[in-house]
Structure 1
Amino acid sequence: MKVLVATDGSKYGRWAIEWVAQLPLAVKPVVRVLHVIDVAGLRAPFMVQPVIAGTERYIQQEIKRMEDSAKSAKKESSALLSSLGLSGTVTIDRGSVAPTIVRHAGRGVGMLAVGSRGLDALDRFMLGSVSTDVIHHAACSVLVVKEAARPLKQIVLAIDGSPASDKAVRFLVRNVAPQINGPEEEPVNVVVVHAMPFLKYPEVREAGKAIVQRYADKLAKAGFQIQEAPKLGKPAEEILKVAKQHKADLIVTGAKGLGAIGRALLGSVSTRVVQHSACSVLVVR
């Protein structure tokens, strides 16, 4: 799988690279690390005439600082790839951060890894907002990294029976090894959670249980250890509760759900989960 990692030199960018190395992927990834320099972002609307305003000298100094920082980040990322045993390259590009990342993520990339936060506003990266943009616009699956990498033992899979959920399950089956460090180790545990709204009809609860069991059977057949968690309540809240209860290392969800008619709205749910989860989140496309 081709994996793109967006970094800005912050710890979140380093964590994103380390997460790619830590994931028990079935096939060793080919990694490209991307650092974006957003020069245009330095010129706020009131600086359309920087020379007249007398600020151009300072802007040029800031551009030089950003370029030096990018070179340093490139060197550090290259060294990190090597130390982690990952094959790949490091690229520096210019442009608006989120659109540039999305453009690079469309070139045959299977997964994009990005930190949930970056450096401060003065560094013009603001990965907090960038991560939100890319989960909405990237053509590939997006891993939003919240914390330092650790062995992936506990996954919470949020499903609603939609085609997006089918894609999430296929991603796990095809790309994630069900055992850590070989078949002699414990299987990766997957908690399959599906939240249905509070309705008085027992058929609704039974339908939710049937959906959970259907996906659980597919994952169990692939070699994962499974726990089923059909829930009643608001989807995002229930997903986050299950993740906290099971001390999840990663939440996996589809990018979109059944929509208003299906009462799932995983498109908005995935955004809320990314924003409020304590652990990293993989949004699958």
Structure 2
Amino acid sequence: MAPRQKRMLLTVDGSQRAIQTVRYAGEEDAFKGMKIVLFHVFNSIPEAYYDLEKEPKSVKVVRHVRSWEVEQKKSIRKYMDDAKQLLMDAGHAETAVDIKIQNRKKGVARDIIIEAHNGYDAVIVRRRGATALQNIIVGSVTLKLMEKLNFIPVLIAGRKPLNKRVLVAVDGSPCADRAVQFVGEMLGPHEDYHVRLLNVIRGGPKPDIDLLEDNGIGETGEVFKSPINILVNAGFPPENISTKTVTGVLSRAGAIVNAAHGGDWATIVVGRRGLSSVSEFFMGRVSNKVVQAGRKDTVWIVT
């Protein structure tokens, strides 16, 4: 029996920033062959507004609004068609890209969350959308999605150019193992990806650069054994896996981002919850801080 085709929910809001997210999905070779659903929540005019039609003096205004709404729908449809074409130009089959435009029901974030329950393997978003202020790193919709999409991996597309080097933070927790498993499922069939497993241990009054260790997979600590086995079983050549332990740092998130930048790892993968996290507590944890600190990085958050 052929394996089930993976399904990715790619959220777009009609902005140029979202088009960059579409380009990311097109450039990421691991997504080739997957079903990608381009999903847009359309902010239509509230039905209550049309009650004005009952007022003779308001008829012209309502007609103008209806005409505006029709034009907006035409505009977003063209935008979505152009986004689909970008994916096709990048090598995705026409049948592998679907477009779904939905009138807003409960709110943009809540509508995306509801859609995400429909058999997807991950949700692709961007830090900021069309209306984000310049000094805001993560927009309000994305923040809500990061917090509430706790049942599915969230892939946050960054602006850094893609490569096939992936940094995965591990700490021996079940969630970290699931993050590694997700990487294996997504990238394992592709032999040209390299993965660095990173374990960060806090402690000490200041970072101590001398306590950085680079290890080949032949000399690894206990924390790396399970992740390495997961990756090898997923198809990664052992020579494409490396490990690093960082100790004596004040910030795990800062150490993860610094390691990604120092080694030119374009994608950072973190588990939503680590060994010390409370079950339902997310905001302010390591994964959120990585998204904030690595503002240009692509970050995958895995539950």
TM-score class normalised by the smaller sequence:
0.7 to 0.9
Which among 245, 251, 262 is matched to residue 230 of structure 1?
245
| Equivalent position of 1:147 in the other structure | 159
Alpha carbons 1:194, 1:235 under 8 Å: kept: no
SS at match of 2:265: coil
Counterpart mapping for 1:237-256 below 5 A? 237-256=254-273
| Equivalent position of 2:98 in the other structure | 89
Superimposed CA distance per residue, residues 186-220 of structure 1 (whole angstroms, 9 cap, x where no aligned partner) = x32211111112169xxxx99x9421354235435
Which among 77, 82, 103 is matched to residue 76 of structure 1?
82
Letter in 2 for 1:99: R
The offset of 1:237, in angstroms, is: 1.0
Instruction: Tell whether 2:23 aligns with 1:5.
Output: no
Larger radius of gyration: 2
Distance in 1 (alpha carbons) for counterparts of 2:262 and 2:132? 34
Using the aligned pairs only, state the percent identity.
22
Superimposed CA distance per residue, residues 31-87 of structure 1 (whole angstroms, 9 cap, x where no aligned partner) = 11001123479x9xxx9x9999x9x76976764564343222122123223323321
Alpha carbons 1:12, 1:116 under 8 Å: kept: no
| Equivalent position of 1:134 in the other structure | 145
Which among 118, 122, 141 is matched to residue 107 of structure 1?
118
Cα RMSD of the aligned pairs, angstroms, is: 3.6
Letter in 2 for 1:212: F
Alpha carbons 1:37, 1:66 under 8 Å: kept: no
Describe the shift of the 1:148–1:118 C-alpha distance in structure 2 as closer, same or farther (beyond 3 A): farther
Distance in 2 (alpha carbons) for counterparts of 1:91 and 1:16? 16
For normalisation by structure 2, the TM-score amounts to: 0.73
Describe the shift of the 1:121–1:169 C-alpha distance in structure 2 as closer, same or farther (beyond 3 A): closer
Which among 20, 36, 42 is matched to residue 37 of structure 1?
42
SS at match of 2:88: helix
Distance in 2 (alpha carbons) for counterparts of 1:67 and 1:121? 22
Number of residue-to-residue matches in the alignment: 261
Distance in 2 (alpha carbons) for counterparts of 1:26 and 1:89? 14
Superimposed CA distance per residue, residues 116-164 of structure 1 (whole angstroms, 9 cap, x where no aligned partner) = 2221259xxx9722222212222321111112663x3211101121111
Describe the shift of the 1:40–1:101 C-alpha distance in structure 2 as closer, same or farther (beyond 3 A): farther
Distance in 1 (alpha carbons) for counterparts of 2:283 and 2:245? 16
Counterpart mapping for 1:238-277 below 5 A? 238-260=255-277, 268-277=285-294
Describe the shift of the 1:127–1:10 C-alpha distance in structure 2 as closer, same or farther (beyond 3 A): farther
Distance in 1 (alpha carbons) for counterparts of 2:89 and 2:31? 20
Letter in 2 for 1:280: T
Distance in 2 (alpha carbons) for counterparts of 1:132 and 1:166? 24
Letter in 2 for 1:35: H
Alpha carbons 1:259, 1:266 under 8 Å: kept: no
Q: What are structure 2's unaligned runs of at least 5 residues?
A: 1-5, 206-211, 214-219
For normalisation by structure 1, the TM-score amounts to: 0.77
| Equivalent position of 1:21 in the other structure | 26
The offset of 1:269, in angstroms, is: 0.8
Which among 228, 232, 235 is matched to residue 216 of structure 1?
228
Distance in 1 (alpha carbons) for counterparts of 2:189 and 2:229? 14
Letter in 1 for 2:243: E
Letter in 2 for 1:110: D
Q: What are structure 1's unaligned runs of at least 5 residues?
A: none
Describe the shift of the 1:199–1:149 C-alpha distance in structure 2 as closer, same or farther (beyond 3 A): closer
